[in-house]
Amino acid sequence: NYAYCGPGVYSKIFSAEPEYKFGFCIVKDYLSDNDKAAYASDFLKNENVSSAVTASALARSVGNSVDKLISVAVLFIFFAAVLCSVVIYTITGINIDEREREIANIKVLGFSDNETMIYVSRESIFSCVVGLAAGLVGGIFLHRVLLSMISVDNVTYSETILWWSYFATAFVVCASALASFLRVAAKIKKISMAETIKSDER
């Protein structure tokens, strides 16, 4: 957003003398933050100076903003995991309610509870895998869009996504799905083979 040039180049391009609005000062490394802040405050005593800030104070301000963004991101991830778990549990639960007689017949044929669970949950597992793959790919583009929206002139954010983020995403989705499947497994165990088969087909 900025181009730096000397006063001679500026005068040649704009046919006017440059007007100085900002000043940058380099202080010694051994100065403490308090000394730097006091040094910046001394500039405010000049009536021509409207504000003065140190690089360390600006870095802390940006750091606090980033920490708040991380907190919001963690909150979004938590609720996304809860939503994933609820959706999978609801879909699988409806699937079980509509196929009670079929599940009872499968259990009569000698299928174990785990085998029955896998048989009933195949559609949900497939949907979970497809959704995860689509989310990982779509998340890359959504990540870029969000960063372009929150970036400002003085602060920009890297668009680099760390490699372990993909594994963390897959872990959260799989953990949420597993939690749902465990609750559904308990529902399958409660299905009475004799009562379900004897009941009238809906």
- Helix count and strand count (H, E) for the chain: 8, 0
How much is the pLDDT for 197? 56
- Of the listed ranges 2-11, 93-102, 141-150, 160-169, the one predicted with least confidence: 93-102
What sign does the CA torsion over 162, 139, 136, 176 have? positive
Report whether pLDDT(146) > 60: yes
Report whether pLDDT(199) > 80: no
The token pair that represents 26 in the structure block: 């380099």
How much is the pLDDT for 114? 74
Euclidean distance between CA atoms 14 and 160, whole angstroms: 39
- Alpha-helix runs per DSSP H in 100-159: 100-108, 113-120, 122-150
Q: Calculate mean pLDDT across residues 9-31.
A: 84
Of 171 and 155, more confident = 171
Nearest to 158 by CA among 144, 168, 169: 144
How much is the pLDDT for 9? 92
What rounded mean pLDDT belongs to the chain?
80
How much is the pLDDT for 193? 63
